Amino acid sequence: MKSKARIAGHSIHPMLVGFPIALFTATLGLELAHIGTQDAFYYRAAMIANVGGVVMALLAVIPGAIDLFGLPKESAARATGEKHAVLNLLTTALFAVSGGMLYRGWSGYTVDGAYLDAHLPLAFGVVGFVAMATAALLGYAMVQHHQVGVQAGAARKPRLVEDFHDFRTSHNAGAH
């Protein structure tokens, strides 16, 4: 099933989702760096990455919703897509709360950094990360198993052993 929201034949939603995934992951790493070092730089960087992730996630919702509502109502792809959407909305909400807490902490910043506590935002972020990872697996299932967003027959199940063998064979043939 081709995507309904596309540019030059390419699905928009998959183009955008990499940004919130990377930014939310960076948020967690930066919060851990802040907790380990108590350096205000990492706290502020976590806050900025978090807000950027929320903004990009909200942008990804638009083409994602267009694609979701374009699926047949009683299909397995639609059921998987609805779970994927709910988990992504949960992820975005959890990171929005985390970002709000980080901002509130930054607003109350003191010279010694006493108010820059990232423990509670980190807890929200970890739960959001688990929801995001689960949603990503459902998104993968939509592409690989339900063929959503790709031309018929374009996606296939990975064949790791065969692909590695093909890679080795093609690269070793040129060595002689």
How does pLDDT run across 22-56, given as a tens digit for each residue?
999 999 999 999 999 989 999 999 999 999 999 99
Res 155 pLDDT > 50: no
pLDDT in tens, 83-94: 999 999 999 999
pLDDT in tens, 82-124: 999 999 999 999 999 999 999 888 776 655 555 678 899 999 9
1 domain residue, yes or no: no
Angle, CA of 92, 94 and 97, to the nearest 5°: 105
Give the chain's domain count: 1
pTM above threshold 0.85 = no
Beta strands in the chain (DSSP E): 6-7, 10-11
Res 156 pLDDT > 60: no
72 domain residue, yes or no: yes
135 domain residue, yes or no: yes
156 domain residue, yes or no: yes
124 domain residue, yes or no: yes
Q: Which residue has the higher pLDDT, 70 or 124?
A: 124
Cβ(67)–Cβ(148) under 8 Å? yes
- CA distances in angstroms from 71 to 5, 60, 61, 112, 146, listed in the order given: 12, 17, 15, 54, 11
Q: In CATH, what number is assigned to the domain containing residue 66?
A: 1.20.120
Q: Is the dihedral of CA 94, 35, 45, 137 positive or negative?
A: negative
What lies within 8 Å, CB to CB, of 24 at 6+ separation is 49, 50, 53, 57, 91, 95, 125, 128, 129, 132
* Domain range for 71: 6-173
Count CB atoms within 10 A of the CB of residue 32.
Answer: 15
CA atoms within 13 A of residue 14's CA, in its CB half-sphere: 16
Q: Is the dihedral of CA 145, 149, 152, 156 positive or negative?
A: negative
